[in-house]
Amino acid sequence: QSALTQPASVSGSPGQSITISCTGTSSDVGSYTLVSWYQQHPGKVPKLMIYEDRKRPSGVSDRFSGSKSGETASLTISGLQAEDEADYYCCSYAGSSTLVFGGGTKLTVL
Amino acid sequence: EVQLVESGGGLVQPGGSLRLSCAASGFTFSSSWMSWVRQAPGKGLEWVANINQDGGGKFYVDSVKGRFTISRDNAKNSLYLQMSSLRVEDTAVYYCARAPLFYFDCWGQGSLVTVSS
């Protein structure tokens, strides 16, 4: 149950696109189509942004997209906006009904 | 509207026990997997435990196995986390979350548990 690996921080200017990576292993990210992504603003409750690698819940902007290649999943935010500044966490199914989160990435909008 | 409301948090000494509750409304609780997720102060999210629809399947992160017990009462639309042998490192905000297919689509507001002497 080792945490997934995310960059500690990423940044971008308004209107740009950024990508946050999430690297796991063949026991979690690489084995299942069950990576999810969460946005958390300071002092707020996490919000689901992507599930099952690339699906977007109703109400989430289509500027958010998910993808995966092998053991690395990615969250891309296009047309960056000031309100996107937050912490982002990936999470993967890890077998036997267990889950594992990434360490989180702080997104700064310059 | 889907709603999850945690209660039961507070200050407890190391080695002590505490039970968290989560009251669910706005959805068919008995049809949903449920989870507890925690976040230590200034740290990231950590999955703690899952329970299946009828409560017969319970799963835990290694660090809480043998100390925490997840349970549910479908008649009361409630989820619980019994925590014992608490350690300083268990200090965190504990979130109740609905987990339809190993992702968390609805979260409670969180309940702070502080383990300190």
Q: Average the pLDDT over B106-114 and give the result.
A: 98
For residue B54, is pLDDT > 90? yes
What are the residue ranges of helices labelled H in chain B? Answer: none
Give the closest of B57, B103, B107 to A36, CB-based. B103
Kindly compute the dihedral angle of the four CA atoms of residues A22, A29, B36, A63, in this order, to the nearest 10 degrees.
Answer: 50
Q: Average the pLDDT over A93-106 and give the result.
A: 97
| Binary contact (A48, B105; C-beta < 8 A) | yes
pLDDT tens sequence across B69-109 = 999 999 999 999 999 999 999 999 999 999 998 999 999 99
Q: Quick one: pLDDT at residue B113? A: 98
Residue B102 in tokens:
């190993």
Q: Average the pLDDT over B60-72 and give the result.
A: 98
Q: Quick one: pLDDT at residue A89? A: 98
For residue A1, is pLDDT > 90? no
CB B113 within 8 A of CB B60: no
Q: How confident is the model at residue B117 (pLDDT cuts 50, 70, 90)?
A: very high
Kindly compute the dihedral angle of the four CA atoms of residues A109, A92, A47, B44, in this order, to the nearest 10 degrees.
Answer: -70
Q: Quick one: pLDDT at residue B93? A: 98
Q: How far apart are alpha carbons B114 and A57 in whole angstroms? A: 33
- Mean pLDDT, chain B, integer: 97
Q: How far apart are alpha carbons B38 and A83 in whole angstroms? A: 25
Q: How far apart are alpha carbons A53 and B72 in whole angstroms? A: 29
pLDDT tens sequence across A35-63 = 999 999 999 999 999 999 999 999 999 99
Contacts of A47 in chain B (CB under 8 A): 107
Q: Quick one: pLDDT at residue B38? A: 98
CB B49 within 8 A of CB B61: yes
Query: Does residue A99 belong to the interface with chain B, where contact is any CB pair within 8 Å?
Result: yes
Contacts of A45 in chain B (CB under 8 A): 95, 107-110
Q: Of B35, B38, B51, which Cα lies nearest the Cα of B115?
A: B38
CA angle A37, B107, A71 (to 5 degrees): 20
CB B29 within 8 A of CB B77: yes
In terms of Cβ atoms closer than 10 Å to its own Cβ (0-12, 13-18, 19+), residue B95 is buried
> Which CA distances in Å does A108 have to A18, A83, B41?
10, 10, 20
